[in-house]
Amino acid sequence: MNQKSFNKAPIERREEASLFNSYFDESYRDEFREMDKHEILVKICDIMGPCPSNFTSAEKIFEAVKLEVARYVIHHEYCKNNSIKSKLLIWFDSKLNPDNAVKCQMFYEKFFK
């Protein structure tokens, strides 16, 4: 990304935002994701203690609970004063309970199509 194209970047207000619609390419987005993940892992390690092996344990904990934590925050913190799209809730449910998502899809196709 050169400075010239960055300076000419249009700014528009959108209802939805996505890093995939940004001016950053995939390598930058991957780096942002890893930086955010690393910050979370450091916070988990701070709670667990100074042992170097705790970082590996923190990674396992993060991978095990990341979707549940995100769903909790969306449902119980963000939704207090904001609305969210049902598409996001369905996505969470399909990730957390894939069997239920298949059953729900079958029910929908049977009765609503």
**pTM of the full predicted structure?**
0.67
Residue predicted with more confidence, 38 or 3: 38
The single residue listed with the structure tokens 């194209």 is 5
* CA dihedral sign of residues 18, 7, 34, 74: negative
- Residue 37 has which token pair? 């993940």
Structure tokens at 71: 């769903």
Q: What percent of the chain has pLDDT over 70?
A: 80
In a domain? residue 85: no
Residue 33 lies in a domain: yes
Q: What is the pLDDT of residues 26-64, one digit of tens each?
A: 888 899 899 999 999 999 999 999 898 999 999 999 999
If 0-12 CB within 10 Å is exposed, 13-18 middle and 19+ buried, where does residue 67 land? middle
Percent of the chain with pLDDT over 90: 35
Classify residue 83: in a domain, yes or no: no
Quickly count helices (H) and strands (E) in the chain: 5, 0
Whole-angstrom distance, CA of residue 55 vs CA of residue 45: 6
Other Cβ atoms within 10 Å of 96 Cβ, number:
13
Report the number of distinct structural domains present in the chain: 1
pLDDT in the model for residue 91: 84
User: 6 lies in a domain?
Assistant: no
Angstrom distances, CA of residue 99 to CA of 31, 71, 102: 32, 18, 5
User: Domain containing 46: what range?
Assistant: 18-64
